[in-house]
Structure 1
């Protein structure tokens, strides 16, 4: 189901005066009273499931990389299995993913017996080195994303700890605060002392080329293509069979007609309960999801930024109220906000260049799985060969026994 700007305008202009009054009354009603029943979208849920296995492996790799010298005794890692939510023993994990680590023996203390240690494999190290190249090539994109996150915030300042917490969602390298931020003093300034909640990243200068949302860019491109000025507006995209009440459809129609408010515009004068603030909140959430790698972010993570982006405490209701723009998945017991327009079925339509980092890791895992399957195949063939040899030997012995018996009977 798609709401087009032209069809909305024609329907709105054809309305009678009484309809206009009724619509105005709807707008004055509390936004919180507008309810849409949540409905499961299996294909978008599947999109979350698709990368579940490699994310688990990435957690284990991260655990080893964070160790001094990037090595760890196997038994130490085994003790952390519950925290890592790893459903199998480390030995089993290693056998299933043979390309990630090398196992060797070393002493934890000088006079102790040697025990198994894990270290990064050569193949994994190649992937990590390749990731550095990808980050370097896409540094302008990372800088633009970081500027945009600051430019949307109330005072162009965001907690450094919170930015570190969302680095995976936006594709920032692990050391972006240490190695990338200082390279751009015209854009960024790290203020405050290190420690939980005590340091902040501040925007030094406003770059107008970053102050244009994905929705505005899309309207500009469409205008240039058609030669007709297109007003920025969100796309509505509901799966077939998804129905909403008539009253809600009318509210959505008229809400879509209201002027778009850029997430980069000053919203300090907006009342928190106003329709303008609702419009702005939808714009900010749309932009945040558009900037993310997978066009989806867990709702609890978004909730950490309520102060910076002036979200209300009940901001998550926006995802169901505007269910043609967003989908809120409950997969894995975690609420995840997803951008509907970014997906076709369970596949991303436009892939972020930084996704190559994750793609390389997935390829490495697939290489290991093929290696393991080949090894298992060789083992099965060896067992089958041994069984065939035993069978042939037994058959030969049986033939000899029969031959001897026949000779005895004949004599």
Structure 2
């Protein structure tokens, strides 16, 4: 009997068999399985990879501007920031990959390798700051709408600070906006802001505007468009049996809209889990619509769960609706894009802040490609090397009058303050790792 049982164990049986009964469990559909089995959007993945490089460069610029002691930073010091930035390559090799952003040169006094941000990239950073300051009233309206979506009209400042750049807010938005417009905002605590009074003119969501256009331009019935969302599946998306019918029923499903007030928004009060999830989809859709580039890191959306009353897994909810959202895994963090806002990896309706950031991205994409400006800089550097060799051989020795003309002919133009900083640094003792 044992021999027969042992031989039968190697036979593939069906779910029910006269000899052996074997049952299979249906595989659980989790956020991880949805993420692995999703249809990829190559253009949005490529865009996410480019934004990762831009974020890395901006973080490096922030460290250079806050931790340096002079107009330049030595590459030796910058190499210590690899763990902070998450940079896996050598610092010098990374800097030389982007000559349109970083100027790498030899210090005229200490003769070590230093780096500074190019004037062109500094101008783009200043342009972005000026555009954000000019759009102050738009930022006020954006923050009011974010507060109006919350359950109690309050938000944690820390959550807003995490997506400050995505919202296009200034770095000091707490002082420049919340403390300036005291008739609109009220700081309950150091990290909690409340809305003084609701603005009825701002309680129209972006999805409502789309529904109105669909109703008027395409002559669709109100029943079809009243609770619908724009659906745009990626290329190659496979629709299973009964998928279209489920999607049609979900589009017609009623839900509590983002700016509608309700005492307690729970699963029991919404009539089930599906209307509750649809309300969460509407809130996330509106939040992404309020961002500059219609994209946010998924891990930062979690900080809005309590204020917005979202009691479901946000990442699983985003992956459950691939026609509305797209989650990209390129980079260290998962980024969620609003699919309807992009066409071919480009924002359909650009804004001034997005235009400036695209210029920054173009400088990154140029890489080491030669431009007329870089060629001129290389020629000046070659001439400078020749002048330095001539001076070392005795030309102009004794009085030191050759030093200032050589500095003026550098590709990097020194000012009086820069020269004074160089003089102060040359007097310091210790390792030569700072400029």
Gaps of 5+ in 2: 1-28, 383-435
Check conservation: 2:227, 2:252, Cα contact below 8 A: no
Q: CA deviation at 1:138?
A: 1.9
Matched, 1:92 2:93: yes
Counterpart CA distance in 1 for 2:69 and 2:182 is: 32
DSSP 3-state at the match of 1:246: coil
Equivalence for 2:123: 126
CA RMSD of aligned residues (A): 3.4
Q: CA deviation at 1:119?
A: 4.5
Deviations 1:332-379 (Å, cap 9, x if unpaired)?
363332222122232222223321331232344467744579549979
DSSP 3-state at the match of 1:169: helix
Deviates more, 1:172-181 or 1:360-369: 360-369
Counterpart CA distance in 2 for 1:218 and 1:332 is: 32
Bigger share in helix: 1
Equivalence for 1:173: 170
Equivalence for 1:219: 211
Counterpart CA distance in 1 for 2:101 and 2:209 is: 41
Q: How does 1:8-407 map to 2 (within 5 A)?
A: 38-67=38-67, 71=71, 73-74=73-74, 75-101=76-102, 105=107, 118-193=115-190, 199-223=191-215, 231-259=226-254, 261-272=256-267, 274-332=273-331, 334-365=333-364, 369-371=368-370, 375=375
Deviates more, 1:219-228 or 1:45-54: 219-228
Gaps of 5+ in 1: 1-31, 108-112, 194-198, 383-411
Deviates more, 1:370-379 or 1:48-57: 370-379
Change (3 A) 1:148 1:67: farther
Counterpart CA distance in 1 for 2:319 and 2:54 is: 29
Counterpart CA distance in 1 for 2:332 and 2:243 is: 28
Change (3 A) 1:340 1:116: same
Change (3 A) 1:115 1:190: farther
Check conservation: 1:106, 1:116, Cα contact below 8 A: no
Check conservation: 1:64, 1:70, Cα contact below 8 A: no
Check conservation: 1:267, 1:277, Cα contact below 8 A: no
Change (3 A) 1:220 1:370: same
Check conservation: 1:77, 1:90, Cα contact below 8 A: yes
Change (3 A) 1:366 1:49: closer
Check conservation: 2:44, 2:345, Cα contact below 8 A: yes
Change (3 A) 1:275 1:70: farther
Change (3 A) 1:101 1:333: closer
Counterpart CA distance in 2 for 1:368 and 1:334 is: 24
Deviations 1:222-241 (Å, cap 9, x if unpaired)?
45557886635201111343
Deviates more, 1:331-340 or 1:199-208: 331-340
DSSP 3-state at the match of 1:202: strand
Check conservation: 1:138, 1:353, Cα contact below 8 A: no
Deviates more, 1:139-148 or 1:87-96: 87-96
Change (3 A) 1:323 1:70: farther
Check conservation: 1:189, 1:204, Cα contact below 8 A: yes
Counterpart CA distance in 2 for 1:341 and 1:156 is: 28
TM value normalised by structure 1:
0.71
Q: CA deviation at 1:243?
A: 2.1
DSSP 3-state at the match of 2:198: coil
Change (3 A) 1:361 1:377: closer
Check conservation: 2:255, 2:276, Cα contact below 8 A: no
Check conservation: 2:133, 2:170, Cα contact below 8 A: no
Check conservation: 1:157, 1:202, Cα contact below 8 A: yes
Residues paired across the two proteins, number:
339
Counterpart CA distance in 1 for 2:246 and 2:218 is: 29
DSSP 3-state at the match of 2:307: helix
Q: CA deviation at 1:315?
A: 2.8
Check conservation: 2:255, 2:275, Cα contact below 8 A: no
Check conservation: 2:256, 2:279, Cα contact below 8 A: yes
